[in-house]
Amino acid sequence: MKREKMTPRERVENALRGGHSEKVPFTMYECMIPQCSAEREMRNRGLCILRYEDVFKVRRPNVKTTKQTYWEDGKELVRTVHETPAGTLTMLQEPAGFTSWTHERMFKGPDDYKAILFYVQDECYEPAYEQFTQAEQAFGGDAIFRTWIGLEPLQTLISGDIMGMEDFCMEWMDRRDEVLKISEAVAANRRKIYPIVADSPAGHVNYGGNVTPEIIGLENFEKYYVPHYNEAAEVLHKGGKLVGVHFDANCKLLSNAIAGTDLDYIEAFTPAPDLDMTLAEARDAWPGKVIWMNFPSSLHLKTDAEVEAATVDLLNEAGTPDGLIMGITEDIPPHRWRDSCRAIMNGLDRHARSNPNLYS
């Protein structure tokens, strides 16, 4: 297929396999771009919408879950109650657009460990492919669809509904055996999910992310994260799936360990000036891995001309367009997204025009 005839989705798929098209693909999470004339204009120019769809259902047959929505001081709040034979767990969240603020997680103290373990071990999974297939067919070539496995076992306690970062740090020091017992139960669940995703219609899958090296450290990352990435990759690769991680924090400390994994792509990598690695350093650190980057959020506040120039500079740092995708994975100031995204696309076009030998 001629590169100029590729759909936005095909350009991204080509880059995910380590290749390139007539320009570096540009993607944006569906939840971050409203349907409007500017969105239509950018899709016509090649913007690829990135959309998540699940490929499995989760059941907890022995847990009774109820939710109550109410308003307090002008804020919508959702109280979730999980009743297990080992105890009751509660959560309190505040919906906030495409995400939510968590005011209370399940863990309130050591007495909750038994109920949390039961809650995790009660999970059952079954394939649910039809919705993914229908959505992908309906959207056509303007979007690429991704699924995910869930958070890494240890990260589930930190970033998920169970514990949160501060409680995790305290419990890691005081009751590590209990923390690891929950993590191992989550790992057993993930192993049930790998083959379901491997047999699914999805082409690529994210495994966890939001890893904070300042909290985890290199030793724990190598011990409790890397083996799960490789275990998942072994199963997923047999099903023809690509697997990556949403590494959106400082990556320098973990860069060598990441390089040694069997991951295919590094998603949401945010280069300097926002975080601690340049794109050139990332290319050197992760040869053979696709970099699906996030355009540095701080640069959206620059002028359109500066955003365009910064885009060109980033692509020059990359050296080659092979296996490179420009993305938006973090919030953009509402008053800037239209002009900033147009400027990024102008920079992608300008780099391609100025370097025909790289894109031939």
**How far apart are alpha carbons 256 and 264 in whole angstroms?**
15
The percentage of the chain sitting over the pLDDT mark of 70, rounded to a whole number, equals 99
CB neighbour list of residue 290: distance below 8 Å, 6 or more residues apart: 15, 16, 18, 242, 244, 264, 265, 266, 323, 324, 325
pLDDT digits (tens, 9 = 90+) for 74-94: 999 999 999 999 999 999 999
- Whose structure tokens read 């959020």? 297
Assign 2 a pLDDT band (cuts: 50, 70, 90): low
Q: What is the mean pLDDT of the chain?
A: 96
The arithmetic mean of pLDDT across residues 261-267, rounded, is 98
Backbone CA torsion sign across 264, 268, 273, 275: negative
State residue 5's pLDDT score: 82
Angle 213-224/226-238 helices, nearest 10 degrees? Answer: 60
**Model confidence at 39: pLDDT above 80:** yes
The arithmetic mean of pLDDT across residues 299-328, rounded, is 97
**Model confidence at 31: pLDDT above 60:** yes
Q: Which amino acid is at 281?
A: E
Quickly count helices (H) and strands (E) in the chain.
14, 14
State residue 219's pLDDT score: 98
pLDDT digits (tens, 9 = 90+) for 228-244: 999 999 999 999 999 99
**Model confidence at 1: pLDDT above 60:** no
Question: Where along the chain do its domains lie?
Answer: 3-59+123-359, 61-108
When computed from its CA atoms, the radius of gyration of the chain, rounded to whole angstroms, is 21
* Contact criterion met (CB below 8 Å) for 131 and 53: yes
**How far apart are alpha carbons 182 and 123 in whole angstroms?**
13
**Model confidence at 298: pLDDT above 90:** yes
**Model confidence at 35: pLDDT above 80:** yes
| Rounded alpha-carbon distances, angstroms, from residue 112 to 88, 158, 246 | 8, 16, 29
**Model confidence at 302: pLDDT above 60:** yes
State residue 354's pLDDT score: 97
Candidates 262, 270, 313; CA nearest to 291 is: 270
**How far apart are alpha carbons 94 and 71 in whole angstroms?**
10
pLDDT digits (tens, 9 = 90+) for 345-359: 999 999 999 999 999
* Contact criterion met (CB below 8 Å) for 194 and 235: yes
The arithmetic mean of pLDDT across residues 127-132, rounded, is 97
pTM of the model: 0.95
Candidates 70, 74, 126, 63; CA nearest to 93 is: 70
State residue 341's pLDDT score: 97
Long-range contacts of 273-281, Cβ-Cβ distance < 8 Å, separation of 24 or more: 273/298, 273/299, 274/298, 275/249, 275/250, 275/251, 276/250, 276/251, 276/252, 277/250, 277/251, 277/252, 278/317, 279/314, 279/317, 279/318, 280/317, 280/318, 280/319, 281/252, 281/255
In this predicted model, which residue has the larger pLDDT, 342 or 31?
342
The arithmetic mean of pLDDT across residues 279-287, rounded, is 97
**Model confidence at 227: pLDDT above 70:** yes
State residue 3's pLDDT score: 65
**How far apart are alpha carbons 313 and 279 in whole angstroms?**
10
**Model confidence at 61: pLDDT above 60:** yes
Assign 196 a pLDDT band (cuts: 50, 70, 90): very high
* Contact criterion met (CB below 8 Å) for 291 and 283: yes
**Model confidence at 326: pLDDT above 90:** yes
State residue 4's pLDDT score: 66
Q: Is CATH 3.20.20.210 correct for 3-59+123-359?
A: yes
Long-range contacts of 212-221, Cβ-Cβ distance < 8 Å, separation of 24 or more: 212/158, 212/165, 212/249, 213/249, 213/250, 213/251, 213/253, 213/254, 214/250, 215/158, 215/165, 215/168, 215/169, 216/154, 217/253, 218/253, 218/254, 218/257, 220/154, 221/254, 221/257
- Whose structure tokens read 């949401």? 268
pLDDT digits (tens, 9 = 90+) for 95-105: 987 778 999 99
